Every structure is written in structure tokens, then in C-alpha cells.
Amino acid sequence: MVIFGATGDLTKRKLFPAIYNLAKEGHIPDNFAIIGVGRQEMESEDFCRQMQENLAEFLPGKSDDDLMLWFRERTYYTGGDFDDDKKLFKDIKEMAAEVRTQHDIPDNFFFYMAIPPSLFANVTQKIVKNGLGKEENGNWRRFIFEKPFGHDLESAKKLNADLLKLLKERQIYRIDHYLGKETVQNLLVFRFGNSVFEPIWNRNFVDHVQITVAEQLGVEQRGDYYDTAGALRDMIPNHIFQLVTLTAMEPPVSFDAESVHNEQAKILRAIKCFTPEETLHSAVRGQYGEGEIDGKKAAAYRSESNVKRESQTETYAALKLSIDNWRWADVPFYIRTGKRMPERHSSIIVQFKKAPFTLFENTPVERLTTNRIEIHIQPDEGITLHFGAKIPGPIVRVGPVDMDFNYLDHFGEQAATGYERLLFDCMIGDSTLFQRADMVEASWSIVSPILDVWSAIPPRDFPNYAAGSWGPPEADELLSRNGRQWKNTPHVPDKQK
């Protein structure tokens, strides 16, 4: 495994802990090694020392000394200028040859691009030019690219075209870490591995779907990236569209990558692109001003470090999507994401239509509980079915109740960063949980027209929500004009007694 960007945040927080967890579970063979590549010059021993300190910080629980030694023996580092064709890539090639001999490693490589997207094509081109990317005699070369994959439709198309000049599609793994989350993967099992849900999962029974990815954190140290990206680009064409496609897609004919991707791509193509008028009507943007979270003062976005004082970047986005196909005609999918919300939670809510009230007209019941299925993605993972039950007593009264499934209670704690499954799948050549080129482009073609309108008409009211609130009032109106409302605080499944 060759990691470009080996001294960066992602490598220390996610990649090394994930490899450690995989090795601990016995999923990595002994003939394996990592070469970290960064701009800094450093000896392998110093890199290993740093890696060990980072593992201690980012892995909960005590680390295992034998495993740490196993790791240190297989971790190497080389540094230099990524633009320098000759020196750095020659060094990597020589180091890889030595490491392979030392650990008896077959001629298989995967390259992890934990570097800014502007360098993806360039670094890949240098790998290929230096003979490191060539597949021969059944050996493989795979390349994982971190998000963001482009910043609009045009740049995503160019990046795909540049990479496809150098590599085959099957060698390209466009990662979206939401697909590493257990509950997200469980969506397919929940929908297609059970017979009770699928028959009601359509416009005949579903009133609407709500998908929320709310974060309590602000932009932390990432102001310079975030201020050029914004909430829409950062979260919607990738993470949230993954949730939309897995919720809405038809059953694939098999679990192989192509069949799953084909069904996901069909949904992306069925999402109706907004006209400029629809953008004004069905898309809401917001930016947080100062406020309070958990009793503590929180600064405004414009006062965060590396953010422009007069920034017009949105930190909140909500859309009302229509999926123009047979199953979902007239069932809106409301999606939203925001920073500095009152709490961190991601969920998918499938809200069912009301039952007829006729039977209850001459009873004290004023209204019936509507049914919904809540799929909790984080921080609690689980599923809740919400329905009405008779309140005990001689009079007919109905009250809302919940039936819960909580992952933790049933399956116990899993040591996972969310990257384990994705790294493992790349090693075994399964790209099901990665994005295909056409999916990335289809996602951008939905989002780009909105971005165009937003950049042509700058927001006049930013900041328009307080840190610690649920976003701007327009986001509530997006639903309330059709008599609906966001479910803000999700039902948290009870822990088993």
C-alpha cells in the first residue's frame, strides 16, 4: 500500500487505525507493507515513531505490543516534491522493490491518494510514467481517490477523463466514507433481505422521505478548503446522494459492483434537475452566525480561522428533490445538511401516508399517529418503527409508540473507523462500495445548476441561522408549505435493560 499524503490528517486519524483494526482481525496477510509518501523529508524510523504515537491517540483502548511491532516492521517512508518526476518516483520504485523482496510480497499495489484533488491526475501520471502502474502477468494496481472528486460537473468530467487516459475504470476506486458505515451498508439488507418492507416502499404508501446529516462541529481547521466548497458541494453530491440512492434504488440483480452501481446510477439520472426558478423555490442555503451549543458560546462562521470575513459560503443546505420514476413519482425526498446544528445526527426517515380517520370520527381520538421508519446512521446506529397504539383504559385513545432495534445492543461494539471495509474491499478488488465515473458525473449534474444560480445571486441575508439552531426558517417553510415538518431530534433507541 502506497499512501500519498502520509503525514496528513486523514492518514493518521483514519487510514492507519483502519489498517491496524484490519490486521487485528486477521484480514491482512504477513506479506504486506506500507510505504508512506509525503512532501517532508524524513527517515522511515521517524515516520514509524509518529505513526505509533498517532495510533495511540486515535485508537480507543490499549494497543497490542506484538501488533505494533508487526506494523513497525512493515511501515516505510519516503519524502520529496510530488512535481519532481525523477527523484521522488524513482525513490518510491526502488523502495518498493526492496520492501517487496524483504517481505516476499507479490507484485500487487494499491495507491491511496490522500492528497488535494488538484494533484490526483498529476501524481497518477507520474506513477504510471515511472512504470509503477503497469498491470502484467495477472498482478494488479489499484488507485483510491479521496473526495472531493471535482468541484462541479466540468471539473469532475475532466478528472475522470484524465484518469481514464492513464488507468482502466476497474482500477479506480472513488471513495465515499459514508459507504463504510455499517447502517448505510445495512440499508440493502434491511430493504431487500426482508419481505415486509419492500412492498410498502413506494409512492402508494410513502408520503415523503427526509434525510438529515447534521453536524455540531464547525469547520475546525479546514476553513480554507471549506470556504471555497460550502455545504452543498462538501456533503450532497457524495455522502447524501449515497443515502438517497440506497434508499430509493430498485433491487439489483446481484450484489456485484456493476449491478449495484447500475441501480444507483438510475436513481441519480431520475432525480429532476432544478431550473433557476426551482432552485429559488426548492433549495435553501444558510450560514451560521454566533450562537450557543450545549450551553457554550459558539462563534460565527465568518470569525472561524481561514474564512473570509465577508464570506458568502453556505454552511447549511436543504433541497426538495423529485425522483422521476414509477416508484417515487410525487414522493418528495427532502435532504439537508448543516454545520453547527444543536446536535450531531444523521438519519433517514421514511414517512408513511396517514390511515383513513373515518373509523375514529365518533371517538375521543383527535388524530392518528402517522407511521414512519427511522434509520439512525450516527451517532447511534439502529432502526425505529413509529406507530400508534391504544392507550389502556375503557375509552378509545391512541398514543405514539416506538419499536427499536439498536445495533450496539445486538452486535456489541465494533472497533471501526469506517475505512476498514473500504480498504479491505479495495485489496480484494470489490468496488461495490465505491463510486463509478458516471455516478459522480450524474451527481454533479444535479448539483451544478444549483451552484450556478447561487453564485449568480449572492445571498443577501447571511448569516441567517444561529449556531446551535436547526438552520434558517426557509428550510422549515420548504416542508411546511405542504403541511410537513422536519423531524429534528431523532428518537434514540433505548438501550436494552
Any idea which residues carry the catalytic annotation?
239
Paired with 361 in beta bridges are none
The residue (of 242 and 371) whose beta carbon lies closer to ligand BG6 is 242
Paired with 208 in beta bridges are 351
How many residues interact with ligand BG6 (rule CB under 6 A)?
Answer: 3
DSSP assignment of 99-127, as one string? HHHHHT--S-EEEEE-S-GGGHHHHHHHH
The residue (of 242 and 282) whose beta carbon lies closer to ligand BG6 is 242
Burial class (CB in 10 A: 0-12, 13-18, 19+), 487: middle
Residue 293 C-beta: closest distance to ligand BG6, Å: 15
Among 215, 263, 380, 381, binds ligand BG6 (CB under 6 A): 215
Between CA 468 and CA 88 the distance in angstroms is 47
Residue 155 C-beta: closest distance to ligand BG6, Å: 17
The residue (of 126 and 285) whose beta carbon lies closer to ligand BG6 is 285
**Could you say which DSSP state residue 289 is in?**
E
**Could you say which DSSP state residue 28 is in?**
S
Residue 16 C-beta: closest distance to ligand BG6, Å: 17
Residue 402 C-beta: closest distance to ligand BG6, Å: 24
Residue 220 C-beta: closest distance to ligand BG6, Å: 8
User: Is 263 among the residues that bind ligand BG6 (CB under 6 A)?
Assistant: no
- What are the φ/ψ torsions at residue 183 (nearest 5 degrees)? -65, -30
The residue (of 222 and 327) whose beta carbon lies closer to ligand BG6 is 222
Residue 147 C-beta: closest distance to ligand BG6, Å: 6
The residue (of 184 and 427) whose beta carbon lies closer to ligand BG6 is 184
**Omega before 379 cis (within 30°)?**
yes
Residue 239 C-beta: closest distance to ligand BG6, Å: 6
Residue 203 C-beta: closest distance to ligand BG6, Å: 30
Closest CA to 1 of 34, 38, 23, 27: 34
Between CA 326 and CA 329 the distance in angstroms is 6
* Residue 9 grid cell: 490528517
Q: Are 285 and 459 in contact (CB under 8 A)?
A: yes
Interacting positions 143-162 with ligand BG6 (CB under 6 A): 147
Between CA 284 and CA 477 the distance in angstroms is 10
Nearest residue to ligand BG6 by CB is 234
User: Is 234 among the residues that bind ligand BG6 (CB under 6 A)?
Assistant: yes
Backbone region of residue 356 per phi and psi (left: phi > 0; alpha: psi in -120 to 50; beta: other values)? beta
Provide the CA 480 distance to its chain's centre, in angstroms. Answer: 28
The residue (of 33 and 451) whose beta carbon lies closer to ligand BG6 is 451
Return the amino acid letter for 48: C
User: Is 304 among the residues that bind ligand BG6 (CB under 6 A)?
Assistant: no
DSSP assignment of 218-276, as one string? --TT-HHHHHHHHHHHHHIIIIIHHHHHHHHPPPPSSSSHHHHHHHHHHHHHHBPPPPH
Cβ neighbours of residue 165 closer than 8 Å, sequence gap 6 or more: none
355 CB neighbour count, 10 Å cutoff: 14
Return the amino acid letter for 410: H
Return the amino acid letter for 320: K
List of residues contacting ligand BG6 (CB under 6 A): 147, 215, 234
